[in-house]
């Protein structure tokens, strides 16, 4: 982290009578405004009790300081020019040709459904649902897309749950560091949100200890066949892709939040009458918005270790039918 000091001065002199006098609280209020920047003021020390300068002067000082700090921060992490980065990618390993196993991925957990009765190899379950739910066979814990302070605390307080699962799916590289810090030694699965699109990114994941990755849905058949490190490969053959994760919850903001998101299914409808399912997270009130249609693709001839079926609002009968129709 960048720790150097940033000094900003103003040429404006003390005003005797042209402007209103600012007290310490007003000075703090103006200095602490960071707007849409990625900074926030952790501590502000003010050495004067009163100040007679225009508010615009304080605002400009703050903007200049943040801009100068941002540039200094960028310069501190720039790579040296001419330094060659070499990644050694092994020769493509021969695929064993086994029939891929079917995994289920729960976009939303249904406490009334008996998932154990379904024909799956492994099942992905959101971490928050493992806390309040019963243990499930061959379970992979899914970490949230955004691990904020609320989720970080929740994960640390319920670490024993992660010790019991078969594997942990990450959605961001920073989560590898978090698991290492917590000394959790579990098989790591990388979701397609990491956008693994070639053998070089696959090699980086392998070096970080990842054992399996889900391919990006943007890849075509030719691009899929280029992977070569020997990591387990998984392809989503059915499901609604998550279009975005929003800090704004359209369910709770529609009125006073009374945990309405836990009492039914919600959707957004656009001007063309397309309907987009919305799933809210009670932990941090973030909302996931999913595609208006369930997308399907064939895994035939693609040399996969696993195929993944993403479940949102499908019934048990619908899930069984989807699994039976998978084209290997």
Residue 106 is predicted with a pLDDT of 95
pLDDT band at 97 (very low <50, low <70, confident <90, very high): low
Pick the residue with more confidence: 86 or 287? 287
Residue 293 is predicted with a pLDDT of 92
Pick the residue with more confidence: 129 or 51? 129
Q: Is the pLDDT of residue 15 over 70?
A: no
Residue 22 is predicted with a pLDDT of 80
Residue 16 is predicted with a pLDDT of 58
- Where are the strands (E) in 65-220, listed by range? 101-106, 122-126, 139-142, 167-170, 187-190, 210-214
Residue pair 301/100 in contact by the 8 Å Cβ criterion: no
Q: Spell out the long-range contacts of 153-160 with Cβ–Cβ below 8 A and sequence spacing 24 or more.
A: 154/127, 154/128, 154/283, 155/127, 155/182, 156/182, 158/127, 158/131, 159/184
Residue 123 is predicted with a pLDDT of 96
Q: Is the pLDDT of residue 297 over 60?
A: yes
Residue 266 is predicted with a pLDDT of 87
Q: Is the pLDDT of residue 255 over 70?
A: no
- Among the residue ranges 55-59, 137-141, 315-319, the one predicted with the least confidence is 55-59
pLDDT band at 35 (very low <50, low <70, confident <90, very high): confident
**Range ranked top by mean pLDDT from 8-12, 103-107, 115-119:** 103-107
Residue pair 288/278 in contact by the 8 Å Cβ criterion: yes
pLDDT band at 56 (very low <50, low <70, confident <90, very high): confident
CB atoms within 10 A of CB 94: 9
DSSP 22-65: EEHHHHHHHHT--TTSS---S------SEE-S-HHHHHHHHHHH
> What whole-number distance in Å separates Cα of residue 34 and Cα of residue 36?
6
Mean pLDDT value of segment 174-181: 93
Mean pLDDT of the chain: 85
Domain boundaries, the chain: 22-76, 101-233+302-315
pLDDT band at 271 (very low <50, low <70, confident <90, very high): very high
Q: Is the pLDDT of residue 214 over 70?
A: yes
Q: Is the pLDDT of residue 6 over 70?
A: yes
For residue 25, which phi and psi values (nearest 5 degrees)? -65, -40
Q: Is the pLDDT of residue 81 over 70?
A: no
Q: Is the pLDDT of residue 68 over 80?
A: yes
Residue 85 is predicted with a pLDDT of 59
What b/e sequence results for 255-292 when a residue is b if at least 16 CB atoms lie within 10 Å of its CB, and e otherwise?
Answer: eeeeeebeeeebeeeeeeeeebbbbbbebbbbbbbbeb
**Range ranked top by mean pLDDT from 27-31, 52-56, 321-325:** 321-325
pLDDT band at 94 (very low <50, low <70, confident <90, very high): low
Q: Is the pLDDT of residue 44 over 90?
A: no
Q: Is the pLDDT of residue 62 over 90?
A: no
């Amino acid at each position: 982290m960048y720790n150097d000091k940033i000094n900003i001065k103003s040429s404006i002199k003390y005003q005797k009578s042209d402007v209103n006098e600012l007290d310490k609280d007003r000075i703090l209020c103006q200095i602490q405004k960071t707007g849409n920047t990625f900074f926030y003021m952790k501590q502000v020390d003010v050495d004067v009790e009163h100040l007679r300068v225009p508010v615009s002067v304080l605002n400009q000082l703050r903007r200049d300081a943040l801009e100068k700090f941002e540039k200094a921060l960028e310069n501190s992490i720039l790579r040296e020019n001419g330094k060659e980065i070499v990644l050694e990618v092994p020769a493509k390993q021969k695929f064993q040709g086994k029939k891929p196993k079917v995994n289920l991925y729960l976009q939303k957990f249904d406490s009334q459904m008996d998932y154990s009765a379904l024909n799956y190899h492994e099942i992905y379950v959101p971490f928050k649902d493992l806390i309040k739910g019963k243990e499930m066979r061959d379970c992979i814990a899914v970490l949230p897309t955004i691990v904020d302070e609320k989720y970080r605390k929740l994960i640390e307080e319920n670490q024993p749950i992660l010790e019991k699962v078969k594997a942990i799916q990450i959605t961001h590289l920073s989560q590898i560091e978090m698991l290492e810090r917590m000394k959790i030694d579990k098989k790591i699965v990388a979701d397609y949100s990491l956008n693994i699109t070639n053998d070089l990114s696959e090699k980086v994941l392998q070096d970080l200890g990842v054992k399996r990755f889900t391919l990006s849905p943007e890849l075509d058949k030719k691009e899929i066949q280029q992977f070569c490190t020997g990591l387990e490969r998984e392809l989503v053959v059915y499901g609604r892709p998550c279009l975005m994760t929003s800090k704004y919850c359209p369910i709770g903001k529609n009125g006073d939040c009374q945990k309405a998101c836990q009492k039914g299914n919600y959707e957004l409808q656009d001007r063309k009458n397309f309907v987009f399912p919305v799933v809210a997270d009670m932990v941090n009130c973030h909302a996931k918005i999913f595609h208006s249609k369930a997308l399907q693709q064939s895994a035939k001839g693609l040399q996969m270790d696993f195929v993944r079926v993403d479940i949102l609002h499908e019934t048990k009968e619908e899930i069984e039918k989807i699994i039976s129709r998978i084209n290997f």
